[in-house]
Homo-oligomer: A and B are copies of this chain.
Amino acid sequence: MPKLGMEPIRRKALVDATIVEIGRAGSLDVTVSQIAKRAGMSTALAHHYFGGKEQIFLAAMRHILSVYSAQVRAALMVANDPRARLEAIIRASFEAGNFRGEVISAWMNFYVQAQTSTGAKRLLNVYQARLRSNLLHELRPLIGQRAPDVAANIAALIDGLYIRHALRTAMPDGRLASDRVLGCLDMMLATPKGKAK
């Protein structure tokens, strides 16, 4: 019965199961047992492949971030001018795949876990840095020195919209959210330096 090359399959199953379970529970209070059961294996095997609970969580996080990254990259490919590329980055953040109750919940929880786990903290820092650098790269040609400031605003806005949906009052609507961010973006692009006030 031992099959060859089971490892990647098992790992993937566990990562997927972890995200689902965190989403379902709405918190990191998810037992290895639940995860393993959903992934169709014993807890012992889960430990065997990942070494421990924290590492399972980290792998799940890494997965979410890499999916998000890939989406951004793909969107950037097909956009031609800076403004279009900014839009691509922003829309990718609220893509249907990411901007779902489950993933929002997992995301929030990762922020909490980052308080404790250096691994989680590092991953979130990578995410923040990458988002900032992506934005900066497209903003510079458009607004030069004001780019860092606007990038920070946009990034905060994105995260803020995420957290505001963590309460699950209404179904998350990615289109609405990215339109809001784009509205702000255009406003900032249009405002000449130091004009306001």
Known: A153-B157, A196-B186, A196-B187. A116 touches B167 (CB 8 A): no
Interface residues as binary, A139-171 with B (CB distance below 8 Å gives 1, 0 otherwise): 000000000010011011111111110111100
Whether, in the assembled complex, A80 has its beta carbon less than 8 Å from a beta carbon of chain B, the answer is: no
Q: A-side binding surface: helix, strand, loop or mixed?
A: helix
| A184 to B, closest residue via Cβ | B153
For the complex, is A66 an interface residue (Cβ under 8 Å from B)? Answer: no
Could you tell me how many residues of chain A have their Cβ less than 8 Å away from some Cβ of chain B? 47
Q: Are A166 and B111 in touch, CB under 8 angstroms?
A: yes
Question: 18 other contacts beyond A108-B112, A125-B169, A183-B196, with CB at 8 A cut-off?
Answer: A27-B113, A27-B115, A108-B108, A111-B166, A115-B168, A124-B167, A125-B167, A128-B167, A155-B164, A156-B157, A157-B160, A159-B160, A160-B161, A187-B187, A187-B188, A187-B196, A190-B196, A191-B196
